[in-house]
Chains A and B, each alone.
Chain A
């Protein structure tokens, strides 16, 4: 089952720029990585963060600034953005994991809104104009990233690295403990695990990779804007994860693809797009709660 998905993922990933529009494919990958990072927290630890836009958009701004103003090469820019998300994740995580459920979500939302207002106020972000004109630059000083294919395969490589990190994390003893915490936190505590530390580590890892996704997006699109840090972005990633299948490895990729594709293809429909996506969400929650991949996996399992 998983093998099929791996082959599909890598095969489609390599062929994508020839099948669909490269910039669109890059956007898909950025959001897929964002959703996967988010899923690590929601699907495997059971923590619903409503503030992931702060890491995504915050990293985008930092990357944009260091590349545009300080002249960093693109990869160093992405790493700086990622590092920023890591630090921010450590701070947010430290504060938020003390509470559970809805309170956890509210704290992360509040903290993320602070980042939103900072982005609006601070000089370097350009306020509602956004940070524009970030150069794509050259990878390792030789590969010109303004070429769509070069940019695409760079993004694909970044996505695969992020995806493999998540895969490793989930299938390690660390990941097993996370699942144990999700299933029964008091029992995990009674078994002697320092639950808060595990949660914090998962939170930081999730934030960091969300940052990587945002930083990469800033390089791809050559701008960072308030849309990336505003709370609807946090909501969108929840939607992607739930639709694709929370707690499945490939679910968020499928969910992100579905949502991004819908926003892209249905953009001619005007206001109806929100109604359609809302409707799909309702149907998803009512009839197939495991999400697309979750339901598929269950079907395959019940047959064999």
Chain B
């Protein structure tokens, strides 16, 4: 018994000692002997293709392109699966920050995960660069000092789409809306823009989350005679609606289909036969510019698929963060956040990207249209860019932001 007690004491001492030794000296302005970037994403569930392992590849590419070290210290990368469970994400993020000295967390698809981790990280003075979730809450009422929302939000996507389509002559709109807060906010944002630009909302229906049979809604949409049928939903709801719209021949008979929240992976999964003519807004398309094409080819060689806007965003966010650390000469969150706020981000992902005080990164968005199978020249030649939506139009302007940080 006595011996066991001794062993236990020794064990405990060792654990405590090893804990103490992780507290690093603060030489050179860095909090530890390295700068560590964490990619927290869904590696096994619905967002896997959108972000997931591809985001880890993108972050590693950013680190390699940066030279693998900053301020003379190596850059490390950690990644983990949050399984779309906010509790898992939150405990992983806590451990990363408390035990592994992670300096910046990116990824964070799934809005509940995004909000939970942003809140937690900001409390602990760690920067988050959210590339994956869409909720505007991240930079509105739940904005934080160190939280940055990088790629897109549920304002910029529908608003961008609506702005561009109304200008191109799509004046009357019909909504198929997912019947919960998210769907309603998509619809509200879109119809506001449509009406401001002189368009008209002629009707709408609400479909419960997880609807598989959209036939009755689509018949109503078709009968309404609206120029544009807008899908204010996401994920499998959008995919199901588009599939069935195709079998009703809606696009062929002259009505336009607009998705409020569609990603490259959705178009790839649907196939051009089904998706053709679908319009939506994206922050990035791999074939849009030479730089993007070149980077995307490199990404393709490593990952086996073309990057989504979210994955390209992870690359850009990681690169911007590392540049800011270099400029600031420290990984102290306040200093880095200040540099990030002053920087104008120019890379293959964005031109003229600007991070506002509420954490929102504003940049140009692009209205794209899914090509027809005849137009497509390769397995990833899926979209054409129809219009560019300037950054100041695409995002909630600072003057209208509900972020309480701005009151100071």
Contacts and interface: CB of A to CB of B under 8 A. Distances in A.
A263 interface: yes
Residue of B44, B120, B179, B208 ringed by the most chain A CB atoms within 10 A? B44
Given A130-B112, A133-B119, A270 B91 contact: no
Interface in A112-148: 117, 120-121, 123, 126-130, 132-133
A217 interface: yes
B308 interface: no
Contacts of B91: 21, 23-24, 27, 221, 264
Interface in A1-48: 18-19, 21, 23-24, 27
Contacts of A217: 87
B182 interface: yes
Nearest to B8: A15
A270 B43 contact: yes
B180 A120 contact: yes
B84 A227 contact: yes
Nearest to A24: B91
A18 B91 CA distance: 16
B5 to A, nearest CB: 12
B87 A221 contact: yes
Given A120-B180, A268-B79, A223 B48 contact: no
A172 interface: no
A10 to B, nearest CB: 15
Nearest to A271: B44
A154 to B, nearest CB: 17
B142 interface: yes
B209 A120 contact: yes
A176 interface: no
B83 interface: yes
Consensus secondary structure, chain A interface: helix
A194 interface: no
B235 to A, nearest CB: 10
A16 B23 CA distance: 22
Contacts of B85: 227, 263
Nearest to A130: B112
B112 A223 contact: yes
Nearest to A131: B112
Nearest to A267: B81
A120 B237 CA distance: 15
A133 B142 contact: yes
A267 B83 contact: yes
A273 interface: yes
A179 interface: no
Contacts of B180: 120-121, 127-128
A11 to B, nearest CB: 10
A272 B282 CA distance: 31
B119 A270 contact: no
Contacts of B94: 21, 23
A126 B181 CA distance: 8
A268 B116 contact: no
A222 interface: yes
Contacts of B16: 18
Interface string A249-288: 0000000000000011001111111100000000000000
A226 interface: yes
9 contacts: A126-B137, A129-B115, A130-B86, A133-B119, A221-B91, A227-B84, A227-B85, A267-B83, A269-B81
Given A117-B209, A264-B88, A273-B81, 11 more contacts: A21-B99, A121-B181, A130-B111, A221-B90, A221-B91, A221-B116, A267-B83, A268-B79, A270-B43, A270-B81, A273-B83
